[in-house]
Amino acid sequence: MNTALCTTYLGVPIQNPFILASAPPTATGDMVRRAFEAGWGGAVVKTLIHEPVHNLPNRFAVIRNGGRITGFENLELLSEQSPDQWYQDIATIKADFPHCPIIGSIMGSADSPEQWLSLARGCQDAGADLLELNFSCPHGYPERGRGAAIGQNPDIAARITGWLTNCKEITIPIIPKLTAAVADIRHIAEELAQAGAHGFCAINTIPSFFGFDLHTLRPKPDIGGMTSYGGYSGPGIKPIALRAVSEICQSPGLPVMASGGIASGFDAAEFMLLGAPVVQVGTEVMLRGFGLVDRMQQELREFMGWHGFNTPADFIGRCRKSAISFEKLSGDYDCRPRLLAERCTGCGACYTACRDGGYQAIRWNHSLPEIDQAVCTACSLCSQVCPSGAISME
């Protein structure tokens, strides 16, 4: 165990902050076992539900930027294993990996306390360390009044949370998993905190539609020429997840397991700076495999080395207060773009962007851009589009 990366979540020690999200990589007990052997700190099992699940073929689609997959969509449902099979798997895995937390994930009907309570009891009795409530699945279940349909309704979500937190038989922490497809995720979290939630996971995938293959006019993903609205994940949703985690860490301030677009140890560091002690990873594991955790741990150690941090506790929450409401931003702050001529390649990107998308403050002077500071409003567009880093905001 690398003690330098040890962290805790709601009193549960974790050997490193990287936890597998409830997703295809945790579809079976064998997969969770192999993940722990590879070095993952913990795992959230694929969401348990009483009704049998049958997943459709060809249920994934991607967005590529060059050769890199930057967006991923799925029409995956919950676990195809029965709850009883999961209880057996949790018990045997915990016996072999006692230091690796297993988080049960459950979903029931909005009008059935016993569905939620029976699944919670089963996970707890099998040895699960924490319990995640799936209030956020964006497809398949919302039309049945479950998943995101629960997470978007604070009254229903609070009622279900209360069923579990008020049950004296359930003693492990209760963690609702929230959807970002709401007007105010902070309000939802505050309501669930009042209902007794011990922490949160944020966020699940984003409701999406991935469009068409313009050569065949068939939708993506293509399921017999038809499709449905799915869950969008991957690097493209990281800014949405960062905002959600930031808001929840500020209020109600309960511990958050961050999830959404995390593809590296550096991504993880950003969420941890906001206050998340652990991060969940799903899509990137589907694309890169369980061995990804080695690189992610090395990247996190590299980040810590830049600042002299010895453990995650040294920086978790360090930048929690960096995000504030817009009206509180300083109107007196001043910075100006400065050209670093030795880096400029004369590509003209800054000139074109400023001319057609900015304030016409750049002109050409002997093959180099020249910034008219009297016209410039310091919007920073020129520095953002410059491919060589030749314009800095100072």
Residues that are catalytic: 137
Cα 111 to Cα 7: distance, rounded to the nearest angstrom: 37
Cα 188 to Cα 107: distance, rounded to the nearest angstrom: 18
**272: nearest Cα among 234, 307, 232:** 307
